[in-house]
Amino acid sequence: MFSNELDKLLVLHLSDLDEGVRRLHLLEAKIGNELDKLVREWSSDKGWRAGDGTWVSDGEVATAPQHWLAGDTWNAWFNLGYQHGDDGEGTEHNDYFWLTRLCAEGRGGMGFRFEQNEFPKTQWKKVLQRHATAFADTRFILDDNPSLFLPVKVDKERLAEAAEQENVRDALTPIVEALDYIYSVVPRFDELRDTMRKEQAP
């Protein structure tokens, strides 16, 4: 279809498009609230700490093992977010909706990113590059953030069915599976942080 023909169709269906976007924003809020609840519940079950932020309000859903925290200071954590190079803004270069990213139905994607604020970014990047082979057999990807990123994809067909049944939690199984996978490989991250401390030691 030529762009001018598409422009014509868009104008002819303005009311439908406007209502569709309105409904999609409501659906995103509903799914975002379920994401927040899911991560909080999972964290509680595992004895981890969930972050205070929310996806709908702050665009933040974080969790961390208790031993990564010093009181209220988070030294390292896993955060739900966008793939490298995507700032989350809807532009001509990015997807317009975060739900499009979550379902990997457009240009972007989402997943859990390992974050830390213990070590300077430059040195941290060098350590990640030197020890990337320690994660070669995992599902984590070393990107240029620099960070280790675990892609997550929610199936749109299953999400559509769950939305129709007004139970979107049923479609968020990939989030739980990703969290369970993170839980299983946390010792690798402990080793990586220990390595960084040793390299920084005088």
User: Residue 71: which region, alpha, beta or left (left: phi > 0; alpha: psi -120 to 50)?
Assistant: left
Residue pair 66/48 in contact (Cβ under 8 Å)? The answer is yes
The residue range of the domain holding 138 is 3-200
Six-digit token string for 116: 């830390």
- Predicted TM-score (pTM) of this structure: 0.92
Neighbour tally for 60: CB within 10 Å: 14
Q: In this predicted model, what pLDDT tens digit does every residue of 87-128 receive, in sequence order? A: 888 877 889 999 999 999 999 999 999 999 998 888 888 888
59-67: average pLDDT: 95
Domains held by the chain: number = 1
pLDDT at 201 exceeding the cut of 80: no
pLDDT at 5 exceeding the cut of 70: yes
- Is 96 strand, coil or helix? coil
pLDDT at 197 exceeding the cut of 80: yes
pLDDT for res 16: 82
Preceding peptide of 174 cis, ω within 30°: no
pLDDT for res 43: 98
Q: In this predicted model, what pLDDT tens digit does every residue of 29-54 receive, in sequence order? A: 999 999 999 999 999 999 999 999 99
Calculate the alpha carbon distances from 153 to 12, 74, 102, 166 in Å.
33, 27, 6, 20
Q: How confident is the model at residue 3 (pLDDT cuts 50, 70, 90)?
A: confident
pLDDT for res 1: 58
